[in-house]
A and B are shown apart, each in its own frame.
Chain A
Amino acid sequence: MKPTRRVPLRIVSRQAAVEVAAVPEIEKLRLESLLHDPVTGLTLHPFADLKGERVANLGVVYVQLGRFAGVESLYGWELYDRILRVTAASLREDLAASPFAPGFLSMSFNGSDGVFMLFDLARRTPNRRGGTLESEASRLRVGVVRRLKQALGRSSVDLMHVHATALAVPDDPRVRPGRNLMRALAEASRLADARESGEKKGFVERLKAILSGKKLRAVFQPIVAVKTGDVLGYEALIRGPQDHELEMPDDLFAVAREGDLLLELESLCVETVFSSLPRVARGKRLFVNASSRLLTHSVFLDDRNLAEMTRAHGDVVLELSEKEVVFNYPAFREVVARLRAAGFGFAIDDAGSGYSGLESIVQLRPEYVKVAHTLVSGLHVDRIKREIVGSLAALARRIDAQLIAEGIEDPAELASLEELGVEWGQGYLFGRPAARPVVLRPPVPRR
């Protein structure tokens, strides 16, 4: 009996041997992907390269990208990826020319918004001007800011406040070097946070001045038929004072969020829009951005306020961002019903940005679904984006809504959108936002 039982046992053990031999290879690849950030190409482990050695005089330089109200959720992951790539490349390039380069030990990403660089301070180039580790941190920071501006332009970088801190960490034989280092990294990051919060306070003060002086401006961007160029309406957009650092709406809202001034800012936005309607917007649909916070506020919902708005413009569509849908709350549904009865239409903004499922769109039953510009940008060369827009088009048909694509800049994007059955478009191709907007003729889509 015994010999016959050995046969299957051997087979089992042979299989197991194959598996065991194979595991390290796959596990290594998996570990590698866990330890290295794919975007920056940097390690996520701050002292992986130190190999357990003690460094008598360790220097830490920390460069932190501003965390103003979540820059990534403001601009989207694709732009944030680019920001990180430019930052890492800039640091690599500038480090090569650093007097601290001979003592360079490692550069790691904190996985979110900061890069740590470690140096052996004893090995810095002697007799060279360039000063302290602190001034080196500041030089690296300036390099990052300059390259971000070159690569991405002003407006995207305005809220990317880059901070840099430097710290010397003497070795202490009484403590484990790894823990000593981790405490130093936490301290460097705390210093950067403190610097940032001081800066944020200044911004909030400047926003308060804009609000109390009612210094917002409204601009209007045409929404046109993709096929014929007929104008459907205009989206009202908000600007701060010209050439002010808070000119762009993303910046205004980020600071308002920081200073708990969102409702004040939004109320002034609506007031500004209705008091500066251009002649061309009359008789066309007017798209106005609003948050659920504003719509559910008693001052906004006041009958007199609603009547005033509908008197100023008879065909208003309220745009709600998909990012902050709250349609699951019965109270919000009541508000929507009331606004509909008062004559307002609804649009879902930023659709397909992936924050919520499509369920919320189905529940609100908006007249319009606006495709997020991040999906429109480059969709003619990106199959997954076309796939997402195609499914939004199918959903829109199902609920009798019409699709508006935002941020169209390229005739090739326009041609793709037309193929996908998108009826309406908005973007520089049809006209920029302006106080007195001009509608451009849509170029004939390339076939």
Chain B
Amino acid sequence: MSARVFVLDDDPAMVEAVMAVLVHDGFEVDGTSDAASALRTVLRNPPDLVVLDVNMPGLTGWEICDILRRQPATAAVPVLFLTGRGEVADRITAMQVGGTDHLTKPFRAEELRARARVLTGRAAAKGVR
């Protein structure tokens, strides 16, 4: 069964782009540009990986990651931050809110695929154990 990825970015074009890159690699991808609906979907049906933007109106990616970590259903789901914020301090914040990986925009399609493969592979291994 292919791994499921959920993408959230307030820019719909970025959601489309990420979805296209990952679908091409055999992932089952869903996404939205609305933070609240993303949170509902992910909590109801936890995917194998969540790809999150940080700067968004309403809930930020950091807040969403923090919420996901507190909910038993999503506490262990890997979160990949995909953001234009590349400062070291931003990466540390990503760690502090429980993020699993961090990729700075603009990114290369191959890099995103590689990270998604590693992160979902890890999720699958956890599930097996």
A residues in contact (CB < 8 Å) with B = 22-23, 25-26, 29-30, 32-33, 36, 38, 77, 352, 354, 357-358, 382-385, 387-388, 391-392
Contacts and interface: CB of A to CB of B under 8 A. Distances in A.
Interface of B: 36-37, 39-40, 59, 63, 66-67, 69-71, 86-89, 91-92, 94-96, 98-103, 115, 118-119
B67 A33 contact: yes
A77 B63 contact: no
Given A26-B40, A26-B59, A358-B88, A32 B70 contact: yes
Contacts of A23: 36
Contacts of A382: 95
B35 to A, nearest CB: 9
B95 A38 contact: no
Contacts of A32: 67, 70
B36 A33 contact: no
A282 B91 CA distance: 40
A355 to B, nearest CB: 8
A391 to B, nearest CB: 7
23 contacts: A29-B67, A29-B71, A30-B63, A32-B67, A33-B67, A38-B66, A38-B69, A38-B70, A38-B98, A352-B88, A354-B88, A354-B91, A357-B87, A357-B88, A358-B87, A358-B88, A383-B115, A383-B119, A384-B102, A388-B88, A388-B92, A391-B88, A392-B88
B92 A354 contact: yes
A33 B63 contact: yes
Chain A interface SS verdict (over half): helix
Contacts of B67: 29-30, 32-33
Contacts of A358: 87-88
Residue of A22, A26, A30 with most partner-chain B CB within 10 A: A26
A22 B89 contact: no
A26 B37 CA distance: 9
Contact of A33 (B40, B66, B103): B66
A387 B91 contact: yes
Given A33-B63, A33-B70, A77-B96, A25 B40 contact: yes
